[in-house]
Structure 1
Amino acid sequence: MKNAHGCYPVTALACSGAWLLAGEGPFLRIYSRTSTTLKQSVAVFSETSIQGISLDTVDTNRILIWGGFYVAVLRVQGLSSESGALTIQFIVDSTKCADWILDGQFSHFVTDHPDKNETYSAALVTAHNALLLLQIDSSSWAVTVKVATSQSKSILYCARLSWEAPDRILIAAGTVFGQLLVWSASLKSSGVDAKLHKVFTGHEGSPFGLSISTSRTSKPSSNSLRLLGSCSDDRSIRLWDISDLSVLDVDPQAAADQASTSDGNTGFLSASTSSGHSKELVAQAMGHLSRIWGVEFLVDRVDSTSFELVTFGEDATCQYWWLEPTYDDQKGICTGVLEHQGYQDRHAGKHIWSHTLSNTSDGVFIATGGADGAITIQKQLAMGSSIAASTPAAGTGDHSTADQVLVPGKIRSYSFVTTDTILMASNEGEVYLAHLPLSVSSSSTFEANGLSWQHVCHEADFGGFSMTASVTSLSLVFLAGKSGSLFAYSPKSGFCKLLDGKRKAAGIFARRSPEHEHRSPTAVCLLARLGDPVAELIEIPFEDHPNTRHARLTIPDGEVISTFAILPGLTDARQIATGFRSGRIALYEATFNTSLEPTTPTPTPPILDQQIHSDAITDIATIPKPNNPHHIFTCRDGSYSIHTLAPTGLIKQHQLSIPLMTEASQILSSPTAGLLIAGFHRKSFTLWSATTEQHLLSIPCGGSNRSWTYCPDPSDPGRGGTLAWTQGSSLLLRTEMPDPTVVRINSGSHGREIKAVAVSPVDSAVGRLVATGAEDTDVKLRRVTDPRAGGGVALQCVRTLRRHNTGVQCLAWSGDGEYLVSSGGCEELFVWRVRALAEGEVGVVCEGVCPFVSEGGDLRVMDLVVERHEGSGLRIVACRSDGSVCVYSYELEGKGWSWDWVGRYGAGCLMGINSLGGLGGNVYLTTGTDGHGAVLELTEGEGGAEVKDVEWKGRFKIHQNAVHAAEVLEWSGDTHLLLSGGDDNALSISLLRGSGQSVATLTIPRAHAAALTALQVFDADTEKGRVLVMTAGLDQRIKLWEVRVEAARQGVDGVQVKRVENKYTPVADVASICSWREGKEVVVLVSGVGWDVWRVNVRDRESG
């Protein structure tokens, strides 16, 4: 059994030039920052995760690594070069220290001591505030770990050390009770002299992060100022003055113990009771939505008097802060206001566990590692004076035109003519044109009143009301007014009237016709009028207004057009798709007249009218595919769908909600980012890539309940674009592009603990998919790639399903792999249809939502059995947290649900349910928190009740308390083998005969050192009476057991159990295991906080 691959929280980071070093579980992994590829990976510790990495600034190839009680020193040859091979050598093997290590650092001073073996290479600080000195013999590489100071009784939650001189170390420590201690250690030949300098109190929670700044010059006195930054689970950031390091005590540990155990000091103190040290609190601020894990002072600017810092939180964001302190000579204190400068979203779910800073010629880059297993590198935000320097001045246009005026009156409507030109109609009926200055592209909001506008014309029809739409690729804008007349403007042909009207315009939409080798590009405008059952369709060849063509479309009764699109076609009969606010779609075969006069075209009725969404359709696009084009629709509810067209209508192949998007508005296609969807998340405009499932940009604009228009970059919409929107009485513009400095290493996994995992049958149409569900409410589908392609097992995320509002509890596939059933809290139970799309894509649709909910609606659906039922439906047997079992039928054709059986086991929570095969298909086994198993049967009963009661056949004890995992095998005849693990750390093997009439159980106590939470049965051979079982527990051990069974013998006399493997897994809180067969090997996926893939070679065991 060997480890093949894994995705773990990134708990340590360090940067060395072009290389990024990451601690992922016990592995040190070295990535190239430019190519993001993994260059080297080595297991530093055997059973401990890496929690810190420190680089030697003198010998740049040396690395100090620690985790838990262990420390190691490595030499990596090649770190100084941006290319070439990397060679890892252990200078100091994993060495156990006396206590948990919180921080470590190499000395960055070059010593001239004649005997370098008398100097110390590195220092460590432990969880009990003791200083450890690491001495390395340069000739033999022997290591000596010296306990330099005594330890305190009070435990620390964080510590930070800094080498001030070759013989002096400054330490800052945060205790569990909220105190901050600043002390130093002088390294002398006679011993270590420790002195306490500061004791700060004020945090209302335990401090989790500390940072020591360099000295700055304060205003106006030019005094030297040095700060200590701290952050806590009280969500506050505090800065303390540590410029004066006078001695308070010669025994820091005793002082810490006295402070933590003194009367009235058993909890957390407020700043007002800080024992006279409140004057040294320079500034404080509240930040983040939850606990703050880390704080870091940013790299100094030359002659800077300000402080810049960044904090890292449980909310997975980086928050930026700026401080300009001032010193009061009379009071002798330094004060300032800690100003929030902005934030960056870094990771999915929760927690930034690690970070590192890199100062380059292009600026300061910050790398963060998250609980999702991903690494994000991004340039720091501009702060303080940098922001003012980058803000453009209004009215500084870069184009000069004749007849330039300021816009009078109120702006009514507007559209982009080109990417740098905008056309506007005022409330007085004036039409203006403006060129956008280059300063708009500086990612800062620009007010259009500062632009220079060129007057185009006056049109009385636009007085008080107007609407616009444009095709920027053809430099053409359509306008409509209160009479419903249609106008057009282009820079070449000017302003002209296209169509007369008698009713007020209700909607105007413009599209470019699909590309065709025998047809020049055209612009098509759809105009709808209030109360008019017919919509006008006008087609204009490129910059040729007189040669227009006209068609009319019949609008279904009661519908309001919200968008339209032109579908690709080969004839003059254009296929037009219109979307309505009701969520319906209509298709037309529109034939255009060659002129507008003298005849009016006959309205074309729809050839298809179909409901496809529950809210307004906001955009339509078509993507060519080899066999059948994909038609994509976005919806105002924040979802998008993919349909194919069949003779019977549109067939939904895929529909998912878009993360962090409350309203989807526009579909775009990018050569670099794939399928893009633009829309709004609350009060911000956002751009999301459906291909990479990443958000590319966000523009605060107040939300979608205002006039707006977006013009993407014409060369690549993935590079951003310009948003224009109305705020109050002003027209604002902002050009935004994805941050080019963002580099993501590893796609990561869930942002919370994985609670459920299930693997689909390999012979399904979509191939083998692994579904994982987590506390972050997401369900991810991952495709298992060919293991021979890269030597390992790669799990590529192909879809993320977002429908649950609570953590996912269970996942189960149907036998054919076409349906996935997921369950969670609040009695959420969903049926997902999974299909193969063109070019290897996967389509997912949430087809069914269980309508049966209890009165409270707050129960968890803990486990499921999904079976094909009567050919056309699914039988779903669910156990719930109130001890009840519910059996539902879901019809695949009609999408209908029925509640067939219900049963109540008792007051406890049912944890799992399994089918007892071979007993007619209606017998099931439940396990619960009372440590018992219970057998139930689905019987027809009497009286023909709509919801029938299950018949309980019996119960039996298998564990001392809660049963966390159970698997049932059909063994021989009416005998079943039950394997289970529980809260009592035990593994139990039970033989069930019949429907539970006879049960014999063999229990392996202390199978794990903590609760056994997951198990998986594989390689079962009933003929040989042998089965392999893998178990996992909260002790982070995975164990392989061989169970041999002679069912003919009485009781458990024929059961023999042998443990054959015992391995450490970096995955904490293991909750589930799944497995699949690949040749002579079984691949096992262990999931919890991250996931781990193991390969078990069963070939030799089969022969034995």
Structure 2
Amino acid sequence: LSWTPRPGLPLDTAAALLASGPDGEMLWLDVTHRPGQAPWVQLRGRYLLPPCKQRWHTCAAFLPQEGLLVCGDRRGSLILFPCSSSSECGAESTSIDNGGTDVVEDSSSESEPSCLLHKGALPLQSPVSVLFGLHGKTGVTSVTIHRSYIYSTGRDGVYRQLRLQEQQLEVLQKHRPCKGLQWIEELRFALDGDLLVLGFHADNFVVWSSRTGENIRCIPCGGGHRSWSYCSSPLAEVFAFIKSGDVMLYHRAAEPCEQQVLLPSLHGREITCVRRLGAVQVASHATFNVFVTGSEDTTACVLVLSENSRAAVPLARLSDHISSVRTLALAMGPGDEGLSALLFSAGGRAQIECYRLLCSGDTASESAVACQVTHVASHRLDKHWERKKNRHKLVKMNPETRYMSLSVVPGTSTKQLPTPWKFLAAACSDGSVRIFGLLEAAQKLVLVAESFHHQRCVLKVEAFLHTWAGGERHLLCSAATDGSVAFWDITGPIMDAVDALHQAEGEMQLLALAAPLVTIMAHSCGVNSLHIRETPEGRYLVASGSDDGSIHVCLLEVALGRGEAAAGTSLQVLERVSRPCAHAAHVTGIRVLRPDLLLSASVDQRLTLWNQRQGKLVPLSTTFFHVPDLAEMDCWEEVEAGGELRYYCVLCGQGLEMLCGTASSKPPPQEGPQ
């Protein structure tokens, strides 16, 4: 038995009672309470639960606008039933049990048989959508409807966000509140926008706040497997539960909060990577910049930053990683109503997660921006290895492999390809450069090619596209801990992978990348930052920064054999510029702003603007920033209303900081960042 509020009826006098019986049959009864009289019961619908060993429901909620009923069962499945048609049948059945309902006023015992004797008049309806075993074998504990989204909880330590897509349940993302909270019972949406997760941790009842990321209440009660009820208000909070047959009551009066948060944290540990998603223009508001950050606390955060308020407001948290998030990559897509992009996040335990982000203006929310997150696909090397044939003959991959850097291969979703595959390059700590293919429609992320050319930890990768009148070539740059920078032509492997994936429907034999076209020893030790920019002449400036504080810039030209794409690709290094000891510590951020303008950032907390002329890097200005242990930098440019070009950069490490600067359009620049 379970109770659920009935849409359109007052909560204090009416509710829906769902009862599971033999052979998976579930009955929907409307129960109305009348003061001084017995309850009035009316049968509204009959439903058939999916077959399983423990065939009964555990929770339910109505979707009144769609005319649907969503249920969770003991097997951990989410089930969607139609209820609009059954409401009509139930209205007709009132004439059947009218004789019984008239007797209800005198005796409640006669109401039950009169209501259920004619249940055969109602059709036994089957589900329209089933997500079998979504929460594992421990069952679904609650289903909640909030802002047209469906939220489900289970005893697997996860709560999920879903939506309806053409009367089908679609999982958008899953969340794991905190370590050890395996028994999640319910979700509560507070008036201040906070999401409270109620559950049991060991032998305690826990209320966990998703906004602060901490337990706000912990009550000893003996653990789960008990009846309980929790209620909170500005004046007090009450928790009632049954323990050893006794009804226990916990009451706590509201107390003034002595602790005030001056500045809320974005992550629990240092921020390792940051990417700017774009800007959202909100009516009657200023422009908001949307960023994505990754951290050592195993989460990624989508946040909005306003220049006026100078406050960072989280929009969504992604908690699918089991280890630290080391790198991010974005593939922008067409956004008719806002920002749309594919987000790739990767890090420890050789894990990659892919999400579809859609950000748009929302004046009703606190942040003025709404972000919808849809989980697309994931990949882990250890699971990939377990699916291999004859794996006992192979050397197992290192489970501690980390992805150090990601880069989306541009130009791979064009009409030239038979299927809209997107490709992703990854730098790995086990010395390999790997290429992955993503088919978003099938939610598949497949490893297609790899190379162990570097034979040491690869720190950075950057993919770029070379186009000319006769076609295009996909090129890749990788940098390792020995200071070497290698350049690859990955056009052939990508085309071979597309053909193989199209024929094998998502499964293929792993390809090997050919040897690099050119390898440059740019530094004496590890390369921590890398950026490539195309010049107006069709050449490429490659800038890199190292652990030894040096900066290296080289100019490349792509040459094709007699203009034929199949004749092979060659790279020529036209010019090399090096600046030893450009910084006093690791150079962890570098960007080529213009062919003559370079920006670098270091752990020494200096942001330096350089002018490249006559084979030299000349410092123009230096700005000190406040973020310690700088991990990464991202830059973009914007044209102001007066036509002035401004450069923006965001820095992350032990914090997050955004700076703005201007530079003269006439080289060499005379003024640095302001």
TM over 0.5: yes
> Residue deviations 1:14-55, cap 9 Å, x none?
xxxxxxxxxxxxxxxxxxxxxxxxxxxxxxxxxxxxxxxxxx
Asked if the contact 1:1015–1:1031 (Cα under 8 Å) also holds between the matched residues in 2, the reply is: yes
Q: Contact conserved, 1:761 with 1:815, CA < 8 A, in 2?
A: no
Secondary structure in 2 aligned to 1:918? strand
Matches within 5 A, 1:337-352: none
CA–CA distance in 1 between the matches of 2:666 and 2:255?
A: 53
1:950 and 2:513 aligned: yes
CA displacement at 1:834 relative to structure 2: 1.7
For the 8 Å contact 1:512–1:521, the answer to whether it is kept is no
**1:548-627 → structure 2 map (5 Å cutoff):** 548-551=41-44, 552-558=46-52, 559-568=55-64, 575-580=68-73, 581-589=75-83, 590-591=86-87, 592=90, 593-594=93-94, 595=97, 596=112, 597=114, 598-601=117-120, 602-611=122-131, 613-615=134-136, 616-623=139-146, 625=147
Instruction: Please show how residues 139-538 of structure 1 align to structure 2 within 5 Å.
Output: 508-516=1-9, 521-529=13-21, 531-538=22-29
CA contact (8 A) 1:877 1:887 kept: yes
State the shift of 1:926 in Å.
Answer: 0.6
- For residues 689 and 737 of structure 1, do their structure 2 counterparts lie closer, same or farther at Cα, with a shift above 3 Å needed? farther
Taking structure 1 as reference, are residues 644 and 849 closer, same or farther at Cα in structure 2, changes over 3 Å only?
Answer: closer
Q: 1:730 to 1:814 in 2, by over 3 A?
A: same
Task: Report the residue type matching 1:985 in the other structure.
Answer: G
The answer to whether the aligner puts 1:847 opposite 2:376 as a matched pair is yes
Answer whether contact 1:697 1:738 (CA < 8 A) is retained. no
Q: 1:537 to 1:956 in 2, by over 3 A?
A: same
Work out the CA distance in 2 between the residues paired with 1:520 and 1:707: 25
Paired residue total? 565
Q: In the alignment, is residue 688 of structure 1 matched against residue 208 of structure 2?
A: yes
Q: Name stretches of at least 5 consecutive residues in structure 2 with no aligned partner.
A: 98-111, 334-339, 383-395, 415-419, 501-507, 559-569
Are the equivalent residues in 1 in contact too, given 2:578–2:617 (CA < 8 A)? Answer: no
CA distance in 2, matches of 1:1043, 1:890: 39
* Residue of structure 2 in register with 1:640 after alignment: 159
Greater helix content: 2
CA separation of 1:514/1:695 partners in 2, compared to 1, >3 Å: closer, same or farther?
Answer: farther
- After TM superposition, give the deviation of residue 914 of structure 1 in Å: 0.9
Are the equivalent residues in 1 in contact too, given 2:174–2:320 (CA < 8 A)?
no
Letter aligned with residue 663 of structure 2: V
Any conservation in 2 of the 1:554–1:603 contact (CA below 8 Å)? no
Residue 1035 of structure 1: aligned partner: 604
Match of 1:259 in 2: none
Does the Cα contact within 8 Å between 1:673 and 1:689 map onto a contact in 2? no
Deviation at 1:883, TM superposition (A): 1.5
> How far apart are 1:1034 and its partner, in Å?
2.3
Cα gap change, 1:893 to 1:940, in 2 (>3 Å): same
Given the superposition, is the C-alpha separation of residues 587 and 849 from structure 1 closer, same or farther in structure 2, using an over 3 Å criterion? same
> Is the Cα contact below 8 Å between 2:273 and 2:632 reproduced in 1?
yes
Match of 2:298 in 1: 777
1:900 aligns with 2:448: yes
3-state SS of the aligned residue for 1:908? coil
> C-alpha separation between the residues in 2 aligned to 1:1064 and 1:993?
35
Superposed counterparts of 1:967-1006, under 5 Å? 967-973=531-537, 975-994=539-558, 995-998=570-573, 1000-1006=575-581
Task: Give the aligned partner of residue 432 of structure 2.
Answer: 884
The alpha carbon displacement at 1:758 in A equals: 0.9
Name the residue aligned to 1:1016.
591
Give CA deviations for 1:255-291 in whole Å, capped at 9, x if unaligned. xxxxxxxxxxxxxxxxxxxxxxxxxxxxxxxxxxxxx
Q: Hey, what does 1:18 align to over in structure 2?
A: none
Q: CA deviation at 1:956?
A: 1.0
2:220 to 700, 703, 709: 700
Deviation, 1:895, is: 0.7
Distance 1:719 1:880, change over 3 A: farther
In our comparison, the structure showing a higher alpha carbon Rg is 1
CA contact (8 A) 2:33 2:40 kept: no
Contact 1:656 1:845 in 2 (8 A): no
Distance 1:633-1:1041 versus aligned 2 partners, 3 A rule:
same
Secondary structure of the corresponding residue to residue 744 of structure 1: coil
What residue in structure 2 maps to residue 669 of structure 1? 189
1:961 to 525, 528, 531: 525
**Do 2:298 and 2:322's aligned partners in 1 also have CA atoms closer than 8 Å?**
yes
Equivalent of 1:858 in 400, 407, 430: 400
- Select the residue among 751, 757, 781 that pairs with 2:268: 751
Other-structure match for 2:387:
none
Quick one: structure 1 residues 652 and 805, their matched pair in 2 at CA, closer, same or farther if it must change by over 3 Å? closer
Residue 537 and residue 658 in structure 1: after superposition, are their counterparts in 2 closer, same or farther (change >3 A)?
A: same
- The TM-score with structure 2 as length reference comes to 0.77
Q: Which amino acid is the alignment partner of residue 950 of structure 1?
A: L
Residues 553/739 of structure 1: CA separation in 2 closer, same or farther (3 Å cut): farther
- CA deviations over 1:720-740 (Å, ceiling 9, x no partner): 4314143x5655432357764
Shift of 1:1101: 6.4
Which residue is 2:484 aligned to?
932
Q: How far apart, in 2, do the equivalents of 1:583 and 1:824 lie? A: 31
- One-letter amino acid of the structure 2 residue matched with residue 976 of structure 1: Y
Q: What is the SS of the residue equivalent to 2:269? A: coil
Q: 1:655-697, CA deviations, whole angstroms, 9 ceiling, x for partnerless residues? A: 3322353232113333245443312334432223446655432
CA distance in 1: counterparts of 2:2 and 2:619, whole angstroms: 70
Which of these residues, 238, 250, 263, is aligned with residue 734 of structure 1? Answer: 250
Query: Given that residues 675 and 691 in structure 1 are in contact (C-alpha distance below 8 angstroms), is that contact kept between their aligned partners in structure 2?
Result: yes
Q: Which residue of 1 aligns with 2:104?
A: none
8 Å CA contact 1:1036–1:1065 kept in 2: the answer is yes
Matched letter for residue 169 of structure 2: L
Q: CA deviation at 1:938?
A: 1.7
Residue 607 of structure 1: CA displacement?
4.8
2: CA distance, partners of 1:725 / 1:1101: 77
Matched position secondary structure for 1:532? helix
The equivalent position to 1:539 in structure 2, one of 23, 27, 30, is 30
CA RMSD of aligned residues (A): 3.1
Give the percent of matched residue pairs that are identical in Structure 1 and Structure 2.
20
Displacement of 1:579 in angstroms is 1.2
Conserved 8 A contact 1:697-1:720: no
